[in-house]
Structure 1
Amino acid sequence: MKIYFPQWQGSGTGKSIKNGAKAILDYLNDPEFIHIPLSKIVAGKNGEKKYYINNYDAIYDQLNRLKRSIDQTRPKTIKIIGGDCGLEIVPVSYLNQKYPNLGVIWFDAHADINKPCDSPSCNFHGMPLRTLLGEGVNHMNPLLFSSIEASQIHYVGVRDIDDAEQIRIDNDEIYAPKKTDIIDLVKILKSKNISNLYLHFDFDCLEPKDYNKTYYQVPNGVTISEAEACIKALQENFSIVGSSVLESITTNTTELKPISKIIKLLMK
């Protein structure tokens, strides 16, 4: 199942994320992608905060729509053009239900594992992993098909971590190396008997000198060539049952050229 879901409300006010997703859709020109409509509930500057989550009603409304679509289709695989990272709670929880002990590879500059009450921004795109662990607000749990375990999470490129997030990572020794080591990552996954993977790819995992058309630019990231090599190694050693490309903000498809191989590897 190929899905175009340009959710931006999880970033607070970042409508540039919506436009960036559309550019990737246009670039791929693949008619197999289905469009899940976004909510018409007011969000952004005039959005309402509930349960420590900005734009809560809009996010819940459209994620529920995404869940219904996936539930009706029951796909074997999912590929998503998005959108902000908050959307991941639906496809990851679905594939985790379908493929027990799913490995979740989180290519991201940010840990995205805040509890809503600990989040400095109250933006949901910093909370999806905590929600997937079943440790977010109970009001979001109906959107989940299942919950994951901390041992299933593996970060690549993470380097901007809030204090509360670091405590959560340390408590369960979640895989979060300071430097990407592809051989080590493959070894760790195999040691856990993981055979199926979901590849979450937020483009801000990349070094901004390589690609800076992202919602955030965080220095000392993964190079484009490192990211390509890592994705290829994971594809060669495991079954990729889901993947996403998220939080690029350029509306100029020619500016996607540096990351074109990454997009095609994840969305092919």
Structure 2
Amino acid sequence: MATFVVVPAWQGSGSSRAMRLIDGAEAIRGDLPSSATQIVDVPTEAGESLETGVNRLSSLRIIRDRQEAALRAATGPVITVGGGCSVELAAVDSVLSTGDDTCVLWFDAHPDLNTPADSPSGSFDGMVLRALIGEGIPELSPKTPLSPERLVIIGARDIDPGEQECLDNSRIRTLSVEDATPAALVDAVTASGAKRVYVHVDLDVLDPADIAGTDWAEPFGLPAATLVELIGAVRAEFELAGAGITGFAPASSAHAVDDLGTILRILGALAR
């Protein structure tokens, strides 16, 4: 049975809606089983960059440490609920520390492969995957870096120049929105040699017609039904090592209710 760790972290985002990520995480938490849910206490202060090029670094380190403690206490596959994508640093690293048989599926409109040197915003949400493959700053580095060969990015359609260069010079597999079929995704995981999957879902991977409450909406995304089908296909073939769902930033509590049906369908596919 899956357990849930809720981390309402907003400090990794560069969006003007960043604080709404707290409301989004809380809205999702309201529909989770309380007996299987842990909440990470996120500092209220923004934090300092400490001259690293990563905005709010000091708070991000505190959040990571507190999240790691919650993950150590959790049982079964953990579904992490953000907040922004920065919460995946601790979540994915926790899974990778248990073995090298996991392929990470990164459903996201953005590949999150920037570095402090080339990031247009200085926001860690856009750097977290680069950190996970061992090419970030020491202050936010994983204990067990992710091999690029064990990574599949699905649905990315807004890619910064530094991110494209990383993709061009690595063995990271990618599937566009058009190419993301169940068979193609299963084949990509199989080619990685992995036996388990970690599924990251930034809700902006979805087409804006299917969800309104995201902080970086991009047109021409995955339909929600397709995303659920893709998750179901890999879950039928591979063990779930863990998952994360991030990027819910509703404009108000009323707007949160409008999107929760879609989000719960995704959670249901992950936690089945």
| TM superposition score normalised by structure 1 | 0.92
2:202–2:245 CA contact under 8 A, matched in 1: yes
1:238 aligned partner: 238
Structure 2: which amino acid aligns with 1:28? L
Structure 1: which amino acid aligns with 2:61? Y
Structure 2: which amino acid aligns with 1:257? G
- Trace 1:57-72 onto structure 2 (pairs within 5 A): 57-71=58-72
State the 1:222 CA deviation: 0.4
Separation in structure 1 between the aligned mates of residue 33 and residue 68 of structure 2, nearest angstrom? 24
2:146 aligned partner: 148
- Corresponding residue SS for 2:35: coil
1:244–1:267 CA contact under 8 A, matched in 2: no
- Corresponding residue SS for 2:86: helix
2:170 aligned partner: 172
Q: 1:27 aligns with which of 22, 27, 31?
A: 31
Separation in structure 1 between the aligned mates of residue 194 and residue 205 of structure 2, nearest angstrom? 23
- Aligned: 1:127 with 2:127: yes
| TM superposition score normalised by structure 2 | 0.91
Separation in structure 1 between the aligned mates of residue 173 and residue 62 of structure 2, nearest angstrom? 32
Q: Deviations over 1:80-130 (max 9, x none)?
A: 111100110111111112131310000100000111121100001001111
- Trace 1:40-51 onto structure 2 (pairs within 5 A): 40=44, 42-43=45-46, 47-50=47-50, 51=52
Separation in structure 2 between the aligned mates of residue 254 and residue 49 of structure 1, nearest angstrom? 35
Q: Deviations over 1:153-201 (max 9, x none)?
A: 1011111110100110111131112221221120121123211010001
Q: Deviations over 1:9-28 (max 9, x none)?
A: 10046010111110011123
Structure 2: which amino acid aligns with 1:160? D
Structure 1: which amino acid aligns with 2:7? F
1:254 aligned partner: 257
2:11 aligned partner: 9
1:86–1:128 CA contact under 8 A, matched in 2: yes
State the 1:74 CA deviation: 6.5
Structure 2: which amino acid aligns with 1:194? A
- Corresponding residue SS for 1:28: coil
- Corresponding residue SS for 2:65: helix
Structure 1: which amino acid aligns with 2:125? H
RMSD (Å) for aligned C-alpha atoms: 1.6
Unaligned runs of 5+ in 1: none
Separation in structure 1 between the aligned mates of residue 191 and residue 136 of structure 2, nearest angstrom? 29
Between the aligned residues of both structures, percent identity stands at 28
Q: How many equivalent pairs are there?
A: 261
State the 1:266 CA deviation: 2.2
Structure 2: which amino acid aligns with 1:67? E
CA separation of 1:237/1:162 partners in 2, compared to 1, >3 Å: closer, same or farther? same
